[in-house]
Amino acid sequence: MLVLFLFIIMLLDLREEKRRRVRLSAWLGGGLVVGGFISALLKVVLSLPALLVTKPAMSHPLANDIEQVGFNLFRNFNLPFQVIGVLLLVATVGVVLLSKKELK
């Protein structure tokens, strides 16, 4: 997945933009947004009741975690898994078309 992401970024052929002056108000506004997001995220994560529940043992002692993840993906979540694959394909084709240089 990461290799696909890096490949798409390499295809973009981004040129360096002119440097702009960074304003103090932009840094303060960005810091407030990031701080608010982190505090809201921490509040949600720390209030999860699932953190206090003990997890049950695996159903089969010989089964490994990777097998269980694959089983769940392809049995219970097959349609969303396929939709995400199609969306990644469409995004990749879109990036290739957008990064294509015009022939002169």
pLDDT tens digits, one per residue of 58-72: 666 666 778 788 888
- The mean per-residue pLDDT over the stretch 36-58 comes to 84
Contacts of 92 (CB under 8 A, 6+ apart): 4, 8
Is residue 99 a contact partner of residue 12, using CB atoms and an 8 Å limit? yes
* Contact indicator for 4, 89 with CB cutoff of 8 Å: no
| 3-state secondary structure at position 82 | helix
pTM of the model: 0.38
Read off the pLDDT of each residue in 69-94 and give the average, rounded to a whole number: 84
Task: Identify the CA nearest to 12 among candidates 102, 96, 103, 104.
Answer: 96
CA angle, 86 as apex, 3 and 69 as ends, to 5°? 70
